Amino acid sequence: MKIEGYQGTNNIYGDQAAKFTKNTQLAASKNQTNKNSTEESTSIELSERAQQIMQGQVEPEIDLKKVASLKSAINSGNYKISADDIAKRMMAQVDMQKED
């Protein structure tokens, strides 16, 4: 049994490696182009209230007693999640947004 090594420019593995390298470079170039165009077109608008909170002008409204009771229920394993309640609240939120 004879095993032959590198055959010069006719090596199919060398050709595949060259194609892979070229395709990888093209893909990287396309990704960089897409990244640049995405960065240029992305914008975020915050509500006035959100801007005030971010600047520290207004404290967000947090019910510390409710937070403490939820933490306690979660830690003790007594916090029950109702999929129906979550779905109802999500749909109510969607309905409110439609009205605006």
Rounded distance, CA 28 to CA 84, Å?
A: 46
Q: What pLDDT is stored for residue 24 in this prediction? A: 66
Contact yes or no for 79/70 (Cβ under 8 A): yes
Q: What pLDDT is stored for residue 37 in this prediction? A: 54
Q: What pLDDT is stored for residue 69 in this prediction? A: 94
Q: What tens digit of pLDDT does each residue of 48-93 get?
A: 888 887 887 777 678 889 999 999 999 999 998 899 999 999 999 9
Q: What tens digit of pLDDT does each residue of 7-60 get?
A: 554 555 556 666 666 666 666 666 665 555 555 678 888 888 888 878 877 776
Task: Answer yes or no: is pLDDT of 100 > 60.
Answer: yes
* Residues contacting residue 14 through CB under 8 Å, at least 6 positions apart: 6
